[in-house]
Structure 1
Amino acid sequence: MASSTVTSSQPSRPPRPNLAFRQLRGRRSPAEFAAAVRRAAREIGERVSCDARYIGRVEAGEIRCPNYAYERVFLHMFPGRTLTDLGFAPRSSVRGRGARAAADTTPAHDRIRPHTTGETGAGFEPYDPPYPQYPYDLSDPYGPHTDYEESDVLRRAFMTGGGATVAAASLAPIGLALDARAAQRPVRRVGASEASALEDAVRRIRLLDDRHGADGLYRRAAAPLRAAYALLDAGTTRQATADRLHSGAGELAISVGWLAHDSGRFDDARSHYAEALATARMTGDDALEAHAFCNTAFLARDAGRPREAVRAAQAAQRIARPLGSSRLMSLLALREAGGWAGLADRAGCEQALTRAQALFARGPADADPEWMSFYGEAELEGLEAQCWSALGDWQRAARHAGRAARLQDPHFTRNIALYTAELADDLARGGHPDEAAAAGMRVLDLLDQVQSSRVQTMLAGTARVLLPHRRAAGVSEFLDRHAGPARTA
């Protein structure tokens, strides 16, 4: 779908946090509060797809006024209060969004009005067919609608245009469309073909990330994620299909969270991982919960919260132990080791690393999750390198990073760039500027194919360390090339 031609009129001032709404949440997590909102909606016959991310956006002030469905749910949850009591702006102050002089100047297809009769769960009625003619770009989560209308409105808009198959077909923005004939058939209930399309979406995103990195994929992956939750909302008559859909949606949330994580959007990543965790707990999916905790631990380490990383990794190990995958337990032990390294606890780190190596040596098993295809000897070496780097043992870190780069399957271009960037940084900090520059040049060669903020941030750090060594062999050439025009894949 082409980007919207509607001119955005985002307010010039930054959003003001909604402290009143935050106070109402109390001690519940955003995901727990979102679940309470969905329960309240069902009590009054509404259907909203509230998640932790939506709650976060409300509390951050990004949603100045909820759509009509959410308004009814919130007023039901907090009887006697008005929208302004809940910290929202009056609808009259945001409905025009500052760019419209009057309602009669707005194009008909750009208006949304509440139902007066025959209310539906969406809580709105578009004037024109809602999909695909809807003016906003559904693939852009930060498009014009984010000022006062939650993305649930758009999600339900395309659901009304042709049933569950429309939602499944919207997996197309990154080449994830269903069979064309299936996309033309209106379907009231979701079936195995839609579940398969969702699972294929997860595989395709992982494949593209392995080859090209996250930066160019993150925004494009938002639409398939919304489509996945729309499929859940559409319902299914078979429990086995429902389980596949929930698992697929959770795995997709983790994949999109990883894209956010690797491209430096830590808050977005945390929200996606929390949504996957909530989905896992609602459905009792231990494998999905272990995966969500695994990624949460990695994010916490990168975000400078090493103690949280340790706790999340330990929680993942408790959940994963009965699943029968030694390789999964090995990876989770490495996540724990990363947390201990961040805490400068060398003993704790070494114990976790020893456990990870022993578990890895047991070999693969049928119980190994599909998403762990990246985890081989190269990743084991790479994660160990990161631990020694965090502990300041540059020589040992460089040795493991070098092994990781040599062992990595050529398919994983992004990981080769990552391990080589780690090697360059460890060599630079360990007093080997010429070797560091050579490794850095190899990374620059790969950046024609890879977009990863993580890799570029590491390389920038290496360049800063090498600045005083410009006269060393190859360093000046590396610094000049690194400072040149940015590459795009």
Structure 2
Amino acid sequence: MQENNEGLINAMRESGLTQAELADRVNAELSCAGHEGTVSDRTVRNWLTGRTRWPHPRQREALEAVFGRTAVELGFSPPAGRRGTLNPAEAPVRRRKFFTAASGTTVAVAAPFVGAPPQVGTSDVLRLRQGLDALMALDDTRGGHETLERAALAGASEALAKQKLGATQRIRLRLYSVAADYAATAAWSALDARQCDRAYALLGKALHLAGLAQDPVAKLRIWNSYAMLAHQRGQRTEAIDSAQAALATATTKRDPLFASLAHARTAVSHSNASDRQAAIRSLGFAQEALNKADLQDPRPSWMAFYGPAELTAMTAIVCDRTGDAAEAEAASHKALGAIPEQFRRNRALATARLALAQLHQRDIDQACATASSVFELMNGSPMPGRLRSLLGDYYRDLITLAPDAALAREWGDRYRAEWRRA
């Protein structure tokens, strides 16, 4: 029975490489060595699934150059007769080490290739992607804020500056892709902070860069953000159209997890337009696609938030907005039991939505207790605008449903105090 190559899976996850990107980088290394690059997505898939346990020597050397690790360290196993007799060329290669600064930026230190001409190449792309990973980790905890947005824009500028010096067309495309991801991260930070005009401008820049990069994954990310932004602006039809634009990107045909996210976003957009039947149908498509997805496949760090737990959280939104508060409460509880602890902002959002579902069932005491726990969950950190707005929605519904309740007044005092602190 074949076993997945966990060493290669982990290395790709750490570097943020997709199967297609790894194939391109291995082919680039082969080309630099004077060999024809014939590695495809299917070749990489065979490595990941364990179907190919010991690649061709040239491919092994190229893989070692990409990751700075030996083939054995990448999870490959030589045939039984060859173990212990590896050629000198297959000896351990010098590792690349990456250090993440406390400020959220990333510095990459790569062992230089002696005699190599000074040029922009794969190590620069990898270093910039490591910086993106650090920014996404900061977003998971704190949410969108001005410092994160500035850092992302600086990353986009650096990637574009290096793009002009790219050694090959492939490297230039990869740098455009990195720049698009940085710009999309800046846009997301503005969107999470509910800075709608700035988010709109940044999404336009990101979409332009994604087009130059010919990067369908970045395009899906950007259209997903456009759908969320359209909801913030009250543009319900545009939100649906944007979600469907995400669904139409090429990456949804190749990776069912991306398709699931696009279907789920479409469901939320339909629920905002009070189209319950269309929303439920899209949720069904999202679940079907998720069931087909391999959650262990390497994907960009921005996609780490999405999986069964997030789909359940989005289901709770759809249920509450289509009038099924009891089902929304059940889905919110289920989501909170599964969303990883490091996604603190997402857990806070799911908690606020749980409070809304309880409130919409007239369970005032429990709803206020749940809503108050959002403040403890954020642990004194400034709340991003999207979370503050959601709590504002809760407060408006609270005073509508229980305007004379002492508990409602007490919660309102707490809400205003936390708002001023933020």
Tell me, yes or no, whether TM beats 0.5. Answer: yes
Letter in 2 for 1:231: K
Q: Residue 402 in 1 paired to residue 402 in 2?
A: no
Match of 2:303 in 1: 372
Match of 1:426 in 2: 357
SS at match of 1:250: helix
Deviation string 1:323-354 (CA, Å, 9 cap, x unpaired) is 42111111100111122112211111111011
- Give yes or no for the alignment of 1:239 onto 2:169: yes
| Residue in 2 that maps onto 1:463 | 395
TM-score w.r.t. structure 2 length?
A: 0.67
Amino acid at match of 1:319: T
For structure 2, list consecutive stretches of 5 or more residues without a partner in the other structure: 1-100
Shift in alpha-carbon separation, 1:321–1:242, aligned structure 2, 3 A: closer
- Specify the SS of the correspondent of 2:120: coil
Change (3 A) 1:290 1:368: farther
Alpha-carbon distance change, 195 to 424 in structure 1, aligned in 2, over 3 angstroms: same
Q: How does 1:405-484 map to 2 (within 5 A)?
A: 405-447=336-378, 448-449=380-381, 451-467=383-399, 469=402, 475-484=408-417
Count of residues in correspondence between the two structures = 314
State whether residues 217 and 251 of structure 2, in contact with CA within 8 Å, keep that contact through their aligned partners in structure 1.
no
The match for 1:332 is 262
Pairwise CA distance, 1:380: 0.5
Change (3 A) 1:301 1:476: closer
Q: Is residue 205 from structure 1 mapped to residue 135 from structure 2 by the alignment? A: yes
Deviation readout 1:88-132 (Å, 9 max, x if unpaired): xxxxxxxxxxxxxxxxxxxxxxxxxxxxxxxxxxxxxxxxxxxxx
What's the counterpart of residue 268 of structure 1?
198
What secondary structure sits across from 2:144 in the alignment? coil
Residue aligning to 1:290:
220
Shift of 1:368: 6.0
Distance in structure 2 (CA, Å) of the matches to 1:172 and 1:434: 41
* Residue aligning to 2:63: none
Say if 1:473 and 1:407 are closer, same or farther in 2 by CA, change over 3 A.
farther
Whole-Å Cα distance in 1 between the matches of residues 161 and 394 of structure 2? 44
CA drift of 1:463 comes to 2.2
Q: CA deviation at 1:189?
A: 4.0
Aligned counterparts of 1:191 and 1:358: Cα–Cα separation in 2: 39
Q: Secondary structure at the match of 1:407?
A: coil
Q: CA deviation at 1:477?
A: 4.2
Paired AA for residue 282 in structure 1:
L
Secondary structure of the structure 2 residue equivalent to 1:227: helix
Match of 1:309 in 2: 239
1:328–1:368 Cα contact (<8 Å) kept: no
Report the secondary structure of 1:204's partner residue: helix
1:423 positional shift: 1.2
Compared with structure 1, are the counterparts of its residues 450 and 207 closer, same or farther at alpha carbon in structure 2 (3 Å cutoff)? farther
Q: Indicate if the aligned counterparts of 1:328 and 1:369 stay in contact, CA closer than 8 A.
A: no
Change (3 A) 1:485 1:412: closer
The CA distance in 2 between the partners of 1:422 and 1:439, in whole Å, is 9
Paired AA for residue 383 in structure 2: Q
The whole-number CA distance in structure 2 between the counterparts of 1:321 and 1:231 is: 26
Task: Give the CA deviation at 1:428.
Answer: 1.9
Q: 1:330 to 1:485 in 2, by over 3 A?
A: closer
- Distance (whole Å) between structure 1 residues aligned to residue 405 and residue 333 of structure 2: 21
- Residues 407-441 of structure 1: per-residue CA shift (max 9 Å, x gap): 21111111110100111122223311111101111
In structure 2, give the amino acid aligned to 1:341.
S
| Pairing partner for 2:230 from 265, 282, 300 | 300
Per-residue deviation at 1:294?
2.1
Which deviates the most, 443-452 or 360-369?
360-369
Q: Percent identity?
A: 28
Alignment CA distance shift 1:266-1:188 (3 Å): farther
State whether residues 337 and 352 of structure 1, in contact with CA within 8 Å, keep that contact through their aligned partners in structure 2.
yes
CA change 1:422–1:230 in 2 (3 A) is: same
Residues 171-211 of structure 1, C-alpha deviations (whole Å, 9 max, x = no match)? 996423444999xxxx9742333212211121111100001
CA distance 1:283–1:228, change in 2 (3 Å): closer
Distance 1:218 1:488 in 2: 21
- Cα distance in structure 1, aligned partners of 2:329 and 2:232: 19
Change (3 A) 1:431 1:296: same
In 2, distance between residues paired with 1:392 and 1:450? 31
Taking the aligned partners of 1:278 and 1:476, their CA distance within structure 2 comes to 48
1:180 and 1:286 map into 2 onto residues whose CA distance is 29
The whole-number CA distance in structure 1 between the counterparts of 2:154 and 2:103 is 7
Q: Which residue of 2 aligns with 1:250?
A: 180
Letter in 2 for 1:298: M
> Are the aligned partners of 1:211 and 1:412 in contact in 2 as well (CA < 8 Å)?
yes
Deviates more, 1:350-359 or 1:440-449: 440-449
What is the CA-CA distance between 1:454 and the residue it aligns to? 0.8
2:368 is matched by which residue type in structure 1? A
Paired letter, 2:416? A
Under a length normalisation based on structure 1, what TM-score does the superposition of the two structures give?
0.59
Q: CA deviation at 1:388?
A: 2.3
The equivalent residue for 1:385 is 316
